[in-house]
Structure 1
């Protein structure tokens, strides 16, 4: 598995490269955002580790440019502890996860395994369940009747549900994955976004539904 590491602190980059290579990853290291964009043009990577603070082009701009092209490559952001707004902005812009410096190598490896495992399970840019299709490149949720272009958090929630049909997903899992591990967001925001998605599914005449299981979570099921 090949990773692109974009980190301008060369000593840290060298240490991370050594850790990753010892764990059987192939790594290309770059030291600024412009180089990261150029390397990503080759479409030769399974994941990206992207520092936010970089010269020439910052990490958040790199992230936005990659997602604007419809590239769904897994991206792990590296952030400083004080950059709370950057974490939120990064997740909203399409980052798969983030890691706050300083971090333990075991956590880095676990996060990489998690984001690349999700990506490798997806063989298409479209997810389909029942008569509903989610285009992961355009954020469009559609049936033969109509379509909606979803906001980022709506998209991430329905993507998680459609990637795991019939599986019960706790509210806490939505909150951690979409709003972030240290988010101060209240748990009831999950219900609010579930409500938005239910209304869209109804408007689309979908033959699937988001089912709530009391005190357990939500699952995507066929209408009965």
Structure 2
């Protein structure tokens, strides 16, 4: 029986890695997990393949020839493509993580990493139901359109990565109610296991910057030692 294009896409992963040994290791590991894979070694080929729309997720190395993984993410998001992206890097500086999240990556793994952890994060991202939560959610001057997965502040577009969108939506739907880090990890990443809880703080920081840049009256408040909640001022 032939596999439908939609079913094939749900199991197809784009790997962008210029280190041949690492790339082939990822191919072997992901194929053993049941995924189809395509391996490219530079950012230009990554953008060409991402634009084809046949992948469920991309695993992208940060250090690439021609353009960095950060730039690949940025170009993908600027094109309106919501393809989930996991960045891989040998650099563990907080600034690098923030740069990755700001560029539109959904997740970030530092080399060396456990393949089991990568596989878990891939499953969490692919598990999302794109048909879920279709209604618009509004708070103050912020509107989140769950069908297009786009955000707007006072009618102006708010650029959000898929994970940023899901995190902000989770906070807005709980307006004024505190969500714990564990609740946010499970709602956005599918599980609190294998995920560094600090990633929530990094995404919150990125969202605060984006909301502030639009002068939004929506803010995200930290409840020390517990979690976060969204509030509307004015």
Pairwise same-fold verdict (TM > 0.5): yes
Please list the CA deviations of residues 118-151 of structure 1 after superposition, one character each: whole Å capped at 9, or x if unmatched.
xx3233897523687314665314xxxx435447
Structure 2 residue aligned with 1:60: 70
TM-score normalised by L of structure 2: 0.67
Task: Please list, as runs of the form range in 1=range in 2, the aligned pairs for 1:1-224 lying within 5 A after superposition.
Answer: 1-82=11-92, 84-117=94-127, 120-123=128-131, 128-129=136-137, 133-135=143-145, 138-141=150-153, 146-150=154-158, 156=164, 159-163=166-170, 165-166=173-174, 169-170=179-180, 173=184, 176-177=199-200, 179=202, 200=217, 216-218=226-228
For residues 46 and 133 of structure 2, the distance between their equivalents in structure 1, rounded to whole angstroms, comes to: 23
Cα separation, partners in 2 of 1:13 and 1:149, compared to 1, 3 Å: same
For residues 103 and 55 of structure 1, the distance between their equivalents in structure 2, rounded to whole angstroms, comes to: 22
Aligned residues: 197
RMSD between superposed Cα atoms in Å = 3.9
Cα separation, partners in 2 of 1:97 and 1:211, compared to 1, 3 Å: closer
For residues 223 and 111 of structure 2, the distance between their equivalents in structure 1, rounded to whole angstroms, comes to: 37
Q: CA deviation at 1:91?
A: 0.7
SS at match of 1:39: helix
Cα separation, partners in 2 of 1:101 and 1:125, compared to 1, 3 Å: same
The answer (yes or no) to whether the contact 1:91–1:178 under 8 Å persists in 2 is no
The answer (yes or no) to whether the contact 1:126–1:134 under 8 Å persists in 2 is no
Structure 1 gap segments, 5+ residues each: 181-186, 203-209
Q: CA deviation at 1:76?
A: 0.2
The answer (yes or no) to whether the contact 2:30–2:37 under 8 Å persists in 1 is yes
